[in-house]
Structure 1
């Protein structure tokens, strides 16, 4: 079952975000607190959204955390999938596909024309999964990021 996250889900979402950071070999970079996550998802001005995948017993086994982006060329919103994670014991059970299907359905229902995300180049299982669904890499684009000291220096 796929359902929108509710405030009571923040602790399990936070735990799964930490699990994802471990999987992606960057646990030290996952510094977000439960309070920050709660504010971003359910505060006065929610900036992100989340859906949970549950197993037959109703236990959370995965999540998708996403936000809206905007295409100036197409003139409409899209969804940017920040994180998609399914716990190792639940992989292969259709939860990841169900989460992506829910987001694709939201796009089509709302007139959004893109569902986008990034994947680490070394993550061959995820790349194969995404390509099996019909997703294609966007050649010719390189992701750039400013963080920490470089961000503060530029913003000073």
Structure 2
């Protein structure tokens, strides 16, 4: 079963975010707190959304999808950017990941969104194979760039032309 996350789910989502970061060999980079996740998902101006895959018998969370809206100036419509998709290792292969992606695809169709997109680590062959089996295509020719920490602060301090 797939359902929208509730405020009570934040501790479980936080735990799975940390599990995902460990799987991706980047646990020290996963610095978000439960309070920060709660604010992003359920604060005064939520800009991030989450869905959970739950066990039909126990109701316990077995996976999650965390996403936000993006916008295509070429298509003139919003889309969904999937930030995280995670299914606990002992529950993989049972269709939970596909069901989570299916729910996001359903939302795209219902709301007229033109894209569902995400990034995947180059070394994550099981996920790449899973996505390709669904019909997803890699976007060759694009490289993700990111500013964080000191570089972000330095650029944000620059004001106006020639600064």
Task: Tell me by how many angstroms 1:116 deviates.
Answer: 0.3
Task: Tell me by how many angstroms 1:65 deviates.
Answer: 0.1
Q: Structure 2 CA distance, aligned partners of 1:89 and 1:28? A: 24
Q: Structure 2 CA distance, aligned partners of 1:109 and 1:47? A: 19
Runs of 4+ in 1 over 6 A off after TM superposition: none
Residue 40 of structure 1: aligned partner:
40
Residue 13 of structure 2: aligned partner:
13
Quote the RMSD (CA, aligned, Å). Answer: 0.5
Residue 52 of structure 2: aligned partner:
52
Residue 161 of structure 2: aligned partner:
none
Q: How does 1:60-79 map to 2 (within 5 A)?
A: 60-79=61-80
Q: Structure 2 CA distance, aligned partners of 1:139 and 1:13? A: 31
Residue 3 of structure 2: aligned partner:
3
Correspondence 1:27 to 2:58: no
Task: Tell me by how many angstroms 1:153 deviates.
Answer: 1.2
Task: Tell me by how many angstroms 1:106 deviates.
Answer: 0.2
Q: How does 1:73-152 map to 2 (within 5 A)?
A: 73-152=74-153
* Runs of 5+ unmatched residues, structure 2: 158-163
**What is the TM-score with the length of structure 2 in the denominator?**
0.95
Q: Residue by residue, what CA displacement relative to the aligned partner does 1:48-75 show, whole Å, maximum 9, x if unpaired?
A: 0000001122110000000000000100
Q: How many residues align?
A: 156
Task: Tell me by how many angstroms 1:155 deviates.
Answer: 1.2
Q: Structure 2 CA distance, aligned partners of 1:104 and 1:4? A: 14
**What is the TM-score with the length of structure 1 in the denominator?**
0.99
Q: Structure 2 CA distance, aligned partners of 1:45 and 1:153? A: 27
Task: Tell me by how many angstroms 1:7 deviates.
Answer: 0.2
Query: Looking at CA atoms only, which structure, 1 or 2, has the larger radius of gyration?
Result: 2
Q: Structure 2 CA distance, aligned partners of 1:73 and 1:113? A: 10
Q: Structure 2 CA distance, aligned partners of 1:103 and 1:11? A: 22
